Every structure is written in C-alpha cells, then in structure tokens.
Structure 1
C-alpha cells in the first residue's frame, strides 16, 4: 500500500496516482471506545473490516463539552471545538435581538424571524440550518482549494453533523429532517434524493416486525425500570402502524443514511473521477438509541449488530464499483448508561441530577440573596451543566456579585465537581500532553471560545446523569468531561493496508492531518491542534 503527502497544488498533482480516489469519513454518533471494545468480537461486517486495518482504540474527543456539534467540529477540521467556535450544541447569546436567546450551533440566528426554540419539541423551532458558526475550514474545503475538481459531499442523520463535517464549501449536503432528507435553504433536492425520500415515506409509517435478537444479545434482554412506570432493556425495535417517530431511534435510521450515501456515490460517481473526493457520513441511530434506552441493554446490542452489517453493505457497494477508497471511522463523543441500570451493575453512586440544579432556581436564590429584582432572571443556561451566563441588564457591580454568589452556591452542591471562571479558563494554555492526563481546566479550555462561552462553566461529578426526569423519553446522555464521554475509537482502512493496533492515546484532531497527508493536503502546523498519524505500519511513513 502506498501513501503520499503533498504540500501544495503542484505536489498534489504529482501525488494523485498514489492518493485514494475517495475518502470516506464516518462518524458514529455516541460510539464510545467502551462500546467498540465491548462488541468488537461480535462484528462480522463493516466494523470487522475496519478493525482489520489501523486501530487506535483510545482516541479522544479531548474537550469537556462532549456533545454532538463540538465533537463533529473536530473530526474534519483538525482543531479543538473551542478554536472551531463550537462550544456546545446550544449556547446563550444575551446580545441578540430576538426573544429566544438560545443559539443552536448549526443555525444562522442573524436571519430575522427565526428562533431555535426547544430542541426537545417536535418542531425544534424555526431556524435556518447553517455552518456559519464554524470558524475554520474542513478538510474537504481545503482539498477543493488545491484540487478544484474534487467534490466535498456530506450526509448525516442530523444537520449539525453534516454541517460540521462538510463545512461551508460543499458540493452536496443532506441530513434527515422530519420524514426525509433535506438540504440547505436555496438548494434544490436532486431527483435521486427526492425519489429516495418517496421510497422512505412509503414505508416509514408501516409496521415492521421486531429485529431478531442475536445470540450474544440474549444475556442483555433484561427489563430495567426507570421513572413513570417505564422500562428499557427488552425492546427489539418493532414498529406498529403510524409510528414514524420511532424510526430515528432504531437501526433502520442508519440504513437509510447509508442508502442516501450510496445514492450520492452513484449520482456523482464519487471516487471515479480525476481527483480525490471526500464523502462525510454521520450515523445517528446509536445516539438516539443511547438516549432512549441506555448503552448497556438489548437495544444497544441489536444496534451494534445492525450497524456492523449496514456499514459492511455500504462497503460492498464501493467494492463493486472498484473504487479506491480509504475509510476513517470515529465518534463525536461517548456516552453513559442510565443510572438505574448502573446502580445494579457496580456503580452505586450513579444518580440523576438534582432538579433544583438549574439556572432558574439558582438564579432566583441569588436574586433573593442580593435583593435584586426577582421578576427578571439574573442567570441563564441551556442545562444543569456547561456554560452559565449572567444577565446583561445588571450593572457591572451587580453582575460581579451575582457571579460570585452563583458560583459559590453551585460549587457547594454535592453533585458538582467544580465551577470554572471564564477568565481562569481563558488564561489556561491548550495542553499538548496526552489527553488522558489533562486537568479538568484543560479539558474545559479545549471547548472554550472567549466570545461564546459562559461567564462560568459547571462540571458535574462522575456518573451524574444530567437528566432529572425521564418524562420526555431520554433516560441517558453524554456531555461530561469524564473519559466515558471523551474516549472514542479511531479506525482507518484501505485495501492492502498493514494491520496494526496502537493502544496509546490519540485525538480526533489528528484525523484531518492524517487524512490530509494521504490525499496531498498539507495543513500548516499553526492551523491545527493535531498531528499526522503514521498509518503505514512499516518502514515507510504515510505522513511524509
């Protein structure tokens, strides 16, 4: 297997013959390193093929804000999420004109009349999906500058995933919305994608039988009760008539996204032209299943088996077209199982977050303590952890007093690990040490942006699930600075690659420089937080 790198457009032309014709970058939303390790021996399809390539089982989304948007922003840019400008899925901007001050990472809130709204609501607000918050170029954008004939294409189960991996300069970009795929405002849907939506629409509301339970999943078939007389752990994704809403939280969803990827490969003959193309794919079913059912039950076991087969089917399509492709697979973050099951499985301290630990309740207590107007909120946040913002309606002295009081109240809560001040985070240098050795402050720094991050940042203790109630259907989640949310696998495969496994830690910011070296795109050292990983496994060096 030959690898080659190139530093500029002229070198890129010389490297064309050695470069793969298609880069397939796959993110499996919420595929933790723990999940990969747990199910690795059961894989027989696409994930088994990837495990036969170059395996970095201890990759890191090294930042503290381990959510979908920040994680996807690191994969194809080579920079930490804070440097990319993506500090969280949502943040607060008290300076914007609209009443709704919550900003979604993949919206353009500058457009009048738009509002992101409540992400848990069916409508998810009325926003315009956009990648304008992403402050740095993706690998696909860089490739197009040195190789104008290259195509940069992205498809995903979520808009934020496609937009963060594709970037601003994309030839085609699609994501799931409602009951089908959509694209950027002002762009038309291709006839093939329109036909795919029609086919999905004809089946999505129809009943389907339960998935077969693989033999290795039988031991996980155990009902676990949680709030409101509900349970998880014994469900095989059968769908009754009229239940399209179940679709996203089943293995069928990933299969649909990979069918869309196949459609794009066929439509544009990706990997079959003169230049290298990039296809970014993000598969979201693992994340939806993790949220709805947890990570350690029958549902996730079935999902891992189905995901393995669906990815394998997609690879078979590429093989049948004799495409020379390289694959990278990783995840945007990990995840943690629901606390009710964890308590039965050796983690007695696992618990749900206190419902009183939120900006509204804490803010009211602070306002009362300081004799401030209780009618106006003094504290704003998108959830119990992460970025907290102090009202701009207060004087500087009042803001300082609110900050001091709120930080003290929150830090004293038994479920809180620490509260970090904005200026303290800003003064911290980005660490160049191994990511497992980073302090909490260094982890917070990696997902920090001075103009978007909060006045202070709240980090919860280990095994605290930041969901107070399961009434809305979420039983488990991610977003912590702990390694169960930070550690993800990083896998590379190309026909003829020499298999090896490197157990030492690497980071997802290493992916873009590594892939760039294979296709002749040099990312200057000052423009990346990562490094190129040598994939050759022999005396040659794929980074040179």
Structure 2
C-alpha cells in the first residue's frame, strides 16, 4: 500500500507540473516553449560551407519592390526555397557599415563589440580613428597604404572565429569586399585572409600583413589577368529604361552623378569618366563593382578549395557597390533599380558556382544588410512628407556660444561627431564643473534646436537600463570607453548630408529594416513576421554548426529557420 501511495504521489506531481506548464503558456499566449522543442535542429549534419552575404545599404523593400523583375536563380531562389525573416531590424544606432558588419558576425551590438561607427573620436588619443586602421601592419599586394588594416579595434570575436577554434583552425575563413571594413570585420580575428579592393591606378585585390606576407598564387593570378579593366565600359540599363517603373524619373534634381558628366542620366561611359573619378575607383559606384566582387568570390571558392571536405569553412562576402550607388543617386533612382537587377544575376552566378564546387545541399547561405537608407529628403519634402537637412556647423557654433555664456569657456567641447558631444575633461576639472550637470544642461540646450528630436546624457546611458525605443537603441550602440558625453538623434527624415543622394545612420525603420534570408543545408522553407534582430544571426549559425556562441553574443538563435 505504501508503494502504491508513493507512486500515486509521484504521478500526481508529474501531472501537476505538466498542467502548470501548459497553463502558463495558455495564460501568457506564448508558444515559445513549444517552438523551442519542435524546431530544434538535428545535431551532427553540418554544412561544408557557410556563405554570409551582406548587401551594403539594402532596404527590406528592395526584395518586394523589384521582386517581379528578379530571375529565378538569385534573390528568388532564397525567397522561394529558403526562410524569410520579414521583420528583421537593427536594434542599435548608428546604422553604419562598420558597426553593421561587426554586429552580423559577432552576434552583439557596438555596446560590446566596440565598433561604434566607421570612424570615431578617440578620447585618449585626441584624434579621429578609423574602425579598421592599423599602423602596425603593411599592405600586401599593392604599393599604396590601403592595406594598413586589421580587426584589432573589434573587442569581441565572430562566429567565424568560433568555427576556427572548434575545428582546431582547420576550418577556413575568407572575407571579401570592395570595402576593407566590409571584408575585415566579418572575417574576425583569426581569419585565414580578408581581401579588399584597391582602386586608383592599380585596380587590385589586396590584404595586409596581419594575415600573410605575400598574396596566394590564385590572388596574384586574378590580379595579373587584368580582370578589372573590362568593367570600365558603358553602364546602361539592363532592360529598356521605360520598363523601370519601380523608380522615379531618370532625370531629376535628387541625384549627384559623376564628375565630368553634367546630368546624372543613363548611359554612363565609365572609360571616358574614369579620369575625373579616381580611375579604377569609379567601378565602386557602379553595378560592375558587385560583378567584380562575385568574380573574386568565385575565384576564392576555387582557389581556397572551400567546402571540399567535411570541416566547415566560412566565406564572408559583402557587396559594397549598392552603398556607393545609393549615396550617389538615392534609393528611388533608376540606377538603384538597375543595380539590384544586375546584382540578382551576380547572385545567380555565385549560387551556380556553389552548386558546382560544393554541391547542392552541402552549403548554407544567409543574406542580410548592414543598414538601410532614407529617401532623399528633398524628394520627400516636395512630396509633402516632413523632411529636411541639418546644418551641423550651425549646431556647433550655437553650442560653442552657449558654453561661452553658461560656463565661461569656448574650450569645453572637444569634439562633435556621430551625433555625439565629447567634453574636455581637463577644462571640466579646471573650471570645477560637475560632469553630470554639464551633460544635463547641454542635453536641454540641444533639445531646443528644431532638427533635434531626442538627446540623452552619457551618464544615463552608462547607469540606467532602457528596454525599448530610441533610448534602448542608443544604449545598445553606446560604448562607455569610446562614446561621447551627450548623444542626440535628428527628427525622422532629417539628415546632415548633401541635398542629393541618400544616407543612413538613424534609428528609424528606413535605416533599421533590412532583409534576413536563410537558405540551404539545415534550413527549411518558410517565413515569419515575428521581429528578429541582427545579433540573432551569429548564434543561429553557431547552433547550426554546433559550436560555441561568439564570446560577446547577446542575440538569440532563430530556431524557426531550421529544417527538422
């Protein structure tokens, strides 16, 4: 009888636990518990190659706006056979290239990985530093200083680093982009190589002594084959220009264009224009920069024999030309539409090479972006949508005058950059000024300016916790050692930029909402409108590879993308 009573009590306890779990899920309306178990990936079937693709300055709506014009082998191959996270966002500011690429691969935000902008004011060195610059290394592959770069300013590691550690350095990592930062930061600290494009008069792919002393044979062969010069051709629309109905008029006042050509209209004779636009540098601001990147990525795939064994390799590819073109012509331009139609074909070429070299079902792809972009404010304003431009020189002069009147000095502000005010701590000490009080007064002064929407103190960013809104996004981008003393954000659609072309950097959806597509080995077909954030990518790939998360990762694995 005692045994039966004991069993009954255990059975009753078990049933109560199960009932409590289901009751909790019913009352909270959450299916997270169920989803976690149903969508857990099968461990042990790792892809031979992971290909990370970052399309620089790609808004989410470029997938939908141009969808009907894409072929079946590029974007549509990922959309129709992979998993689409339709509500994917950056969860920090500033939304720039350096922070974006770092966040995709480290699984965290600038608060932890430390890449707070493309360039920032170094409070210790009293100078502006670039996110990838490194004077301790030298250029490999060119006679210029464009190779003096490394990832040493990135504080945390990437999932590519963790894959290297997990495989005892046998899994390769290769980073490729026209921009140095778009190649170096994704590849991480332990990469076999990162390559970027040195235009000018040489037009070569280069690297730095951080990775190697001499270029591999396949890279030298690529450079010596004169693969760049043929792209100095005429850029005309891929299809008849009258069919480009997803864009504005080709001739308008919102585009900058190229030096040496009066109107920013098709066609563009690149060979004739190169002399006034940096020679080979002009290729960056055309779709042919993406084609060149694809050529080099395929050469790397073959030259490095990526995905040829059962040890997972990582290929990090960033398409930079989309950003140059967006800055130049704006997000509503025919040039942007044509660029994405051509990129679609380049992606198809890359995917076909992966099929041939690695094998269908043996590789996994994710595609995302490092930030979006705003419509040209002048165009928005003329369309009766609130928008405008910010005169930062005027803001600096007004703040300087305020400091003179309020604190009796013109030297209190040391630097203003990246929407941050850096105070001179020596002046604070000499004047016996309280830092918190000065921060607060400058915050209140900034809020009086018409173009400024929000302002916060560095003290609040370092001592309080913000969970939602712009405050949380600023905090996720705030590094206590590197960021400023007062941080501000402009009104929606207001930018400090030229009146032609688009830019980015804000907390608004046009800058934060970017694609996130997964495809290939271990990935199911589907989509979700649940909100995902950029730091979720790295832990998702880490789970797929069954490796440790990057050491600073704050994101969550997206179990819904896995194929069971």
Normalising by structure 1, we get a TM-score of: 0.84
**Counterpart position of 1:72:** 101
Residues 290-439 of structure 1: pairs in structure 2 closer than 5 A: 290-323=326-359, 324-347=362-385, 349-359=386-396, 361-370=397-406, 372=408, 374=410, 376=411, 378-383=413-418, 385=419, 387-396=420-429, 397-398=432-433, 400=435, 403-429=439-465, 431=467, 438-439=468-469
Name the SS of the counterpart of 1:107 in structure 2: coil
Q: Does structure 1 residue 192 correspond to structure 2 residue 192?
A: no
Pick from 206, 209, 213 the counterpart of residue 182 of structure 1.
Answer: 206
Deviation of 1:81 after TM superposition, in Å, equals: 2.2
Q: Identify the match of residue 27 of structure 1 among 40, 44, 54.
A: 54
SS at match of 2:322: helix
Secondary structure of the corresponding residue to residue 450 of structure 1 = coil
CA contact (8 A) 1:3 1:536 kept: no
Secondary structure of 1:74's aligned partner: helix
1:141 corresponds to which residue?
Answer: 161
Mean alpha-carbon deviation: is it higher for 440-449 or for 336-345? 336-345
Q: How far off is 1:250 after superposition?
A: 0.6
- 2:528 and 2:447 map into 1 onto residues whose CA distance is 39
Aligned-partner Cα distance in 2 for 1:72–1:65: 12
- Does 1:211 pair with 2:237? yes
Match of 2:110 among 53, 63, 81: 81
Between stretches 451-460 and 512-521, larger displacement belongs to 512-521
Are residues 31 and 209 of structure 1, via their aligned partners in 2, closer, same or farther at CA, if it must alter by over 3 Å?
closer
- Describe how 1:153-164 pairs up with structure 2 within 5 A: 153-164=174-185
* Corresponding residue SS for 2:422: strand
- Whether 1:463 and 2:489 are equivalent positions in the alignment is no
Per-residue CA deviations over 1:430-472 (Å, capped at 9, x if unaligned) read 64xxxxxx311101011111101101111111000221x35xx
TM superposition shift of 1:162: 1.4
- Equivalent of 1:500, from 505, 526, 530? 526
CA distance in structure 2 between the partners assigned to 1:458 and 1:124 by the alignment: 37
TM-score (normalised: structure 2): 0.81
1:61 equivalent to 2:90? Answer: yes
| Aligned counterpart for 1:478 among listed residues 501, 504, 512 | 504
Does the CA-based 8 Å contact 1:66-1:332 persist in structure 2?
yes
Q: Does 1:451 align with 2:481?
A: yes
Looking at structure 2, the residues matched to 259 and 180 of structure 1 have their Cα atoms a distance apart, in angstroms, of 13
Larger Cα-atom Rg? 2
Query: What SS does the corresponding residue of 1:240 show, helix, strand or coil?
Result: helix
The number of aligned residues is: 500
> What's the secondary structure of 1:503's corresponding residue?
strand
Deviations 1:270-294 (A, max 9, x none): 0012301010111111111110110
Instruction: Give the Cα–Cα distance (whole angstroms) in 1 for the partners of residues 207 and 503 of structure 2.
Output: 27
Distance 2:342 2:402 in 1: 50
Q: 1:224 aligns with which of 231, 248, 252?
A: 252
Task: State the 1:378 CA deviation.
Answer: 2.5
RMSD: 3.0
Structure ranking higher in helix proportion: 2
Unaligned runs of 5+ in 1: 7-14, 115-122, 432-437
> How far off its partner does 1:497 sit?
4.8
After the TM superposition, which parts of structure 1 deviate over 6 Å for at least 4 consecutive aligned residues? 123-127, 227-233
Residue in structure 1 matched with residue 270 of structure 2 by the alignment? 239
Q: Structure 2 unaligned segments of length 5 or more: list them.
A: 1-38, 275-279
